[in-house]
Structure 1
Amino acid sequence: MLVQKYKDMLAGKSVIRELSEFATARGREIGYENVFDYSLGNPSVPVPQAFTDEMIHMLTDRESNELHGYSPSLGITGVREAVAASLEKRFGLPYRKEHIFMASGAAGALAHAFRLVTEPGDEILTFAPYFPEYGPYVNLTGAVLKVVPPDTESFQIYFGKFEEMLTGKVMAVLINTPNNPSGVAYSAATLRKLADLLREKSAEYGHTIYLISDEPYREIVFSGVEAPCVSAFYDDTIMCYSFSKSLSIPGERIGYVAVNPRCRDAETMVNMCGQISRGTGHNCPPSIIQLAVAKVLDRTADLSVYETNMEILYKELVDLGFSCVKPGGTFYIFPKALEEDARAFCRKALDYDLVLVPGDTFGAPGYFRMAYCIATEKVERSLKALRRFVEETYR
């Protein structure tokens, strides 16, 4: 007998993926260069040359078993040491390899973090707008994801509603900064207030409320924007990181869990991740990719194109009358649609070969997301289609 909950999920496939598939099919009809596909957050800039050079060097000069064999359950020791040293140098926290677990991207890191601190029936709170895959990520562990409504004025945290929802059943709070889909980075004031509340409620309820920080966009922060280290504000923070966006290697599925060294059970938690892997079939990420990223920890791809694209789109959207919080990072922008029903708005945009994602799936009805990780030349060409869409449909 097939498991019903997974059969039921077939009726609720990822809207983002479905729109991306539509864009690909439409591209076969008219040429993909003529489809303004803002659906999928797939990095568009090349990997750093240093990463490519390191891969070539290893494949040429190192032993095959070292590159392609199993790594230890927690990840390659030297890689964990390098990650810890980089984090200590950058953020001033005393990370050691004992605080690091190598994972298959941020998704793999989150899968371990949720299982570290929740039992079935426990609650995890997150804040809208949020990455829609958080739903299955959390709920299929047996824990329950609860979503705090958005503060649409700033897309910082709506603390009034958060305090109401922060009950004794909550074992963890999940944040994503800079945020997908809003592009907003949480300020130091926001993180300080969040940390104070978590300390207060942890003491009141008699158990630790962990802060799980999903950070795949940590390196994509625009000029003049504050994006402080989350772990610096709260001792019981579990950092979940991916190199997918910073190095433009999403297909390599590489990231890590970094438990704050100030967390009382940090080393035990990392060792537990190795046991969680046994139950999830995780079994550690590829050895060759672990070794390669360890050589480029302090490098990124050329991420400047994302700020260029953001500035172009933000100006045009505002000029056309859209209400929009200016992104501080990532490669997403999240304007308010020109009608209440963002799904209908995005369907109408398809007639102009503009592929936009409605905000309903992110917990923010009435808004839509544009993933502007595409060539700047294509962003500029899309403006004509965007103007036509607005003028012919809403003027």
Structure 2
Amino acid sequence: MSISLKMQSFAEKSSLIRKMFEEGIRMKALHGAENVFDFSIGNPDIPPPPQFYEVMQKRANDRSPGVHAYMPNSGYPFVRQAIAARMSEEQQVTVDADDMLMTCGAAGGINVAMKSILNPGEEVILLLPYFVDYQFYVDNHGGIPVLVNTDEDFNLDLAAIEAAITAKTKAIIINSPNNPTGQVYSQESLKALGNLLLKAGKKFGTTIYLVSDEPYRKIIFDGLTVPSIFAAYVNSIIVSSYSKDLSLPGERIGYLAVHPEITDKKPLLTAMIMANRILGFINAPALMQRVVAELQQASVDNSIYERRREIFCKILRDAGYTFNPPKGAFYIFVKTPIPDDVEFCAILQEEKILAVPGKGFGAPGYFRLAFCVPESVISGSAKGFARAMGKVKDKA
């Protein structure tokens, strides 16, 4: 075969999220979009906040010389300064424009981080359940993914993490609020994780980085706040984007920031800027950089997601499903009433409901539902969820 054997293997075990999304397109064409209840992909349907359109129009009308030219690979200094000012409040640590760079989304940022820190054969801990593309990002740069369980409520299992750390451990990637579970890690657990990584680094004579993927930071419920990563651990790197809180996933605009006191900061940032260029990103999109600089306090209307969460949780409870209500993001991770999550998702599909099997996140026995869809889609699915539960009970 002419293609890479590795890529052939990756394609065969590629994201079940995308497979279900594509199945949704087929089913909608066959049955009509109004008759299909597609909860497969985290593609925000809420429009960006009104300020976005105002700023976008203003920036699009700017005809200044060089406005669409290359800029430093790390991004416009004034954009980074605007984000650093907001992050300084959020992280309770003073972040400077030179502590960060603009990236092509959070995915681009994670790849930049992995390219910059990994030597071939070094290990990166990923917490189950996890966004499956993390393993590909680690492999892209010669790393080895090490999968570690969280506890029964999807909180950090510090004992399991400690047991997984070796002399080859270079980083751990965390995601809070979490996709797919909606869990938010507590400040206490993050500080304990930071102490654990510091202790392990001293034991092995290494630096272990904590990489926090935070695109859902502003999508949070019940009055909670997302704790500071920088307050928990010095050797930390935050990666985020505007895909979710501004509903701009297709614009591929994000950023990466390192702790101001991170070990070997200058060579690390030099490596990251170089990685941003040689990975082919060159720089983050110029127009979107200028737009988001003016939107640091803006966000979509979070109450819409919170209301949808309540509607969906009631539907699922009434039908007899077991789950933990999400604290953030826009997903519900539900236990399957039978052991085989792929089989149960096929039963849901018979009801024209599209869900992603937990197997796709390394957690068989669950399925994920994305509630970034209109309330009518959520409400319309109620009878189908009840019938699917009834089918498995009838077989029992």
Category of TM-score, reference length = shorter chain: over 0.9
Per-residue deviation at 1:359? 0.4
Distance 2:184 2:15 in 1: 25
* Contact 1:104 1:255 (C-alpha < 8 Å) held by counterparts: yes
Aligned equivalent of 2:340: 341
Partners of 1:183 and 1:330 within 8 A in 2: yes
Identity of aligned residues (%): 36
Residue 280 and residue 11 in structure 1: after superposition, are their counterparts in 2 closer, same or farther (change >3 A)?
same
In structure 1, give the amino acid aligned to 2:83. Answer: V
1:148 and 2:160 correspond: no
- Which structure 2 residues correspond to residues 281-292 of structure 1 after superposition, within 5 A? 281-292=280-291
Alignment RMSD: 1.4
1:75 equivalent in structure 2? 75
1:306 corresponding residue in structure 2:
305
TM-score normalised over the length of structure 1: 0.96
Aligned residue number for residue 124 of structure 1:
124
Q: Is the 8 A contact 2:105 2:253 kept in 1?
A: yes
Displacement of 1:8: 2.5
Distance 1:126 1:6 in 2: 21
Number of residue-to-residue matches in the alignment: 393
1:227, distance to aligned residue in structure 2 (A): 2.0
1:238-387 aligned at under 5 Å gives the runs 238-387=237-386
1:85 aligns with 2:119: no
Q: Which runs of 4+ in 1 moved over 6 A?
A: none
The residue number in structure 2 matching 1:201 is: 200
What is the SS of the residue equivalent to 1:256?
Answer: strand
| SS state at 1:196 partner | helix
CA shift for structure 1 position 114: 1.1
Q: Deviations over 1:70-90 (max 9, x none)?
A: 221110111111111111133
CA deviation string 1:24-59 (max 9, x = no partner): 111111211211101000011001111111111122
The Cα shift of 1:11 comes to 1.7
Conserved 8 A contact 1:106-1:241? yes
Q: Does the Cα contact within 8 Å between 1:149 and 1:363 map onto a contact in 2?
A: no
- 1:20 to 2:56 alignment: no
TM-score by length of 2: 0.96
Q: Secondary structure at the match of 1:65?
A: coil
Partner of 1:38: 39
Contact 1:358 1:367 in 2 (8 A): yes
- Partner of 2:134 in structure 1? 134
Instruction: Give 5+ residue unaligned stretches, structure 1.
Output: none
Query: Is residue 123–residue 143 contact of structure 1 (8 Å, CA) maintained in 2?
Result: yes
Amino acid at match of 2:32: G
| 377-386 or 99-108, larger mean C-alpha shift | 377-386
Following the alignment from structure 2 to structure 1, what is the Cα–Cα distance between the partners of residues 276 and 213?
19
Contact 2:37 2:354 in 1 (8 A): yes
C-alpha deviation, 1:226, in angstroms: 4.3
- Return the offset for 1:64: 6.3
Distance 1:314 1:269 in 2: 44
Q: Displacement of 1:109 after TM fit? A: 0.4
CA distance in 1, matches of 2:327, 2:266: 34
Aligned-partner SS, 1:232: coil
Task: State the one-letter code of the partner of 1:14.
Answer: S
Deviations 1:98-143 (Å, cap 9, x if unpaired)? 1011000100000011122211100000110100111111112110
Name the CA distance, whole Å, in 2 between partners of 1:145 and 1:90.
30
